[in-house]
Amino acid sequence: MAGVCVVALAIAEPASSLELFGIKIFEPKDDEAEDIIGEPQRYSVDFVVSPVAEGDDVEAALKGASTLWQDREKPASGAAGLLAKARGDYRRVLAALYALGRYGGSISILVDGREAADLPPDTELPDPAAVRVAIDPGPLFHFGQTSIVNRAPPPVDPDDEVEAPERKGFSPGQVALSGVILQAENLSVEAWRQQGHAKAKAIERRVEAAHDVNLIDATLELDPGRRAAYGPVTVEGTERMDPAFVAYMTDLPLGHEYDPDDIKRANTRLAKLDVFRAQRIEEAEAIGEDGLLPISVIVQERLPRRFGVGASYSSLDGAGFEAFWLHRNLFGRAERLRFDAKVAGIGNDAGEGGGFDPADFTYRLAATFTKPGVYTPDTDFIASLIGDREVLDPYTRAAVTAQAGFNHMFSEHLSARLFAYGEHARFDDDFGERDFDTVGFLGGLILDRRDNAADATEGYYIEVLAEPFFEFNYGNAALRATAEGRVYYGFGEDDRIVAAARLKLGSVVGSPVDETAPDKLFFAGGGGSVRGYAYRSIGIPSPDGDVSGGRSLIEGSAELRARVTDSIGVVAFADAGYVDADSFPEFSEDLKVGVGAGLRYITGLGPIRLDLAMPLDPGPDDPDVAFYVGIGQAF
């Protein structure tokens, strides 16, 4: 390639560090730090960027990199502070140009008509000082040649596959963004690490520019190092926790081949214990002569006891309050004991007291014991005892339930549960007051491939549940089963628009409607079902206007979500629900549809949701409009 040189820009060389692809070329002197304190120095900024190709938002990116521009509304810390800020801008603007693929530009920063790089820190400046930043971005550079020396071979295990740098733009003809070069290096190192080379590293990053043809040649050279296996796992920082149990829960067996995904899963598994305030897993600096890589787990424990309170409100279902008390490390192996109390339905329309009679409230008391790490580090044993009373439009339920079973994580995305339970329940509904004594099993599988459980923009979610049970009072053996799928597709820049859909199917076979406990029958309606209708208000209508449950369910939702700003989103949605008296629907009942719109306020915990919904086929007790508030998307 003709005219090859090390990448450079024509700039007035400042006395501040220049960072090219993560390498600092020179450092600032101590007396030129930007935090110099002095009399406030006001200044004005004239920021000029030479025109570039239409559609390239270069000026906005350069202004975003300049602290002179970003801090223009407030004075600097004296004249020396202003000069230090200007010298730092050479470096920041230079890095921004490289990030835009422009390696032949020029930067001039004039303070009081003189180049900032030439002014000593004790220069006296007028108040306010006139600052002029003039940038010629230069031409856009493309990759001429790209190469990776000592590249990792294709993996044997598909789970070890790492995205090819070429797919991220590291290939001839693509725009030579500096970030693409760094990303290519990181991906190339990760490809070796995924195949057991824990200490793989880049030993050379060679970037050369041909300014006469606006091309960049980039070569990355890697040193994979030796293949490693896990050495002994040591634990530091435990107080109440058993350190041997902490090591066991990492599931990093001695002699097993190193895999960074194992380290990630170990961190996730330890975080799920909810015992540690802080945790980290450190790999030893070097692989031992025996090929083993020692692992250290450093933790800081939380206080063992915790309590919390919460509240909820729906215009249809009324207000609710709840509280819990938790001991998260009962015997030193992260055993959890939790007590919950809840009252809900305050101000709803169920019951005879207009929603404000305590006899019409919903109550719940529960005690739950959880023991993690049973049989495998990914298996939890859970036992609970629950007493509750629900007052709903279709029925009133009072029950005591005991259950015990296991949750198991097969992988990051696939989990299963299996529980045995026994329950005594009394119902008051259209069939009168009835008792049900039931034993059964509840098993389920969840496959979750969403990118974000609280605010998914791509992926899918599938849940399948099966509940075989036997009811003694009527002598019925039956099966209740549900299957639900959700899919998400994001499009537009940064997936700012997302189409989401949900479908749920359910069926009860083996017992007639009048001999099945109402809570095992299907209803629809509510914030997580068909918005615009009250919770469990969609079912089989009776001649007197009441609603009872059915033995089959079809339920679906569609949403179009758009993010208007980084923190505000809007949603349009439609929900539909159908309940049939037969185990396999004959479609003799009406399909209930609700439509509406909502606002989303994006937070780190997920979006805060406000939905307004209107039922298209309201019953006599349904409102014209209902609103819902919650955290996370509706599905």
Q: Average pLDDT in the 280-302 region?
A: 95
The DSSP call for residue 153 is: P
CATH, domain range 229-301: 3.10.20.310
Q: What is the pLDDT at residue 3?
A: 41
Q: What is the pLDDT at residue 316?
A: 60
Question: Could you tell me the pTM of the whole model?
Answer: 0.78
Q: What is the pLDDT at residue 623?
A: 77
| Residue 580 near residue 513 (C-beta atoms within 8 A) | no
pLDDT interval class at 202 (50, 70, 90): very high
- Model confidence pLDDT, tens digit, residues 132-149: 999 999 999 999 999 999
Whether 37-136 and 384-631 share one fold: the answer is no
Q: What is the pLDDT at residue 522?
A: 95
Q: What is the pLDDT at residue 535?
A: 80
pLDDT interval class at 317 (50, 70, 90): low
Mean pLDDT of the chain: 88
- Model confidence pLDDT, tens digit, residues 70-87: 999 999 989 999 999 999
Helices 178-193 and 78-99 pack at an angle, to 10 degrees, of 70
Residue 181's nearest CA partner among 150, 153, 145, 225 is: 145
pLDDT interval class at 94 (50, 70, 90): very high
| Residue 527 near residue 318 (C-beta atoms within 8 A) | no
Instruction: Round to whole Å and give the CA distance between 298 and 398.
Output: 47
Instruction: Round to whole Å and give the CA distance between 362 and 512.
Output: 27
- Model confidence pLDDT, tens digit, residues 337-383: 999 999 987 776 655 545 577 777 889 999 999 999 999 999 999 99
Instruction: Round to whole Å and give the CA distance between 399 and 423.
Output: 7
CA 623 to chain centre: 35
CATH, domain range 384-631: 2.40.160.50
pLDDT greater than 80 at residue 169: yes
Flag the least confident range among 259-268, 576-585, 613-622. Answer: 613-622
The DSSP call for residue 194 is: T
Q: What is the pLDDT at residue 36?
A: 42
Instruction: Round to whole Å and give the CA distance between 406 and 371.
Output: 10
Instruction: Round to whole Å and give the CA distance between 21 and 269.
Output: 35
| Residue 516 near residue 508 (C-beta atoms within 8 A) | yes
Radius of gyration of the chain from Cα atoms? 32
- Model confidence pLDDT, tens digit, residues 5-48: 444 333 333 333 334 444 343 344 433 444 445 689 999 999 99
pLDDT interval class at 159 (50, 70, 90): confident
Q: What is the pLDDT at residue 200?
A: 96
The 3-class secondary structure across 253-316, one letter per residue, is: CCCCECCHHHHHHHHHHHHHCCCEEEEEEEECCCCCCCCEEEEEEEEEECCCEEEEEEEEEECC
Q: Give the whole-number percent of the chain exceeding pLDDT 90.
A: 71
- Each domain of the chain, given as residue ranges in start order, spans 37-136, 142-223, 229-301, 384-631
- Model confidence pLDDT, tens digit, residues 565-608: 989 999 999 999 999 999 999 888 889 999 999 999 998 878 99
The DSSP call for residue 358 is: G
Strands, E assignment, 125-259: 129-136, 142-149, 201-210, 215-223, 229-236
Q: What is the pLDDT at residue 15?
A: 35
Handedness of CA 114, 116, 120, 121 (dihedral sign): positive
- Model confidence pLDDT, tens digit, residues 208-260: 999 999 999 999 999 999 999 999 999 999 999 999 999 999 999 999 999 99
CATH architecture of the domain formed by 37-136: Roll (3.10)
CA 272 to chain centre: 15
CATH, domain range 142-223: 3.10.20.310
Q: Give the whole-number percent of the chain exceeding pLDDT 70.
A: 91
pLDDT interval class at 56 (50, 70, 90): low
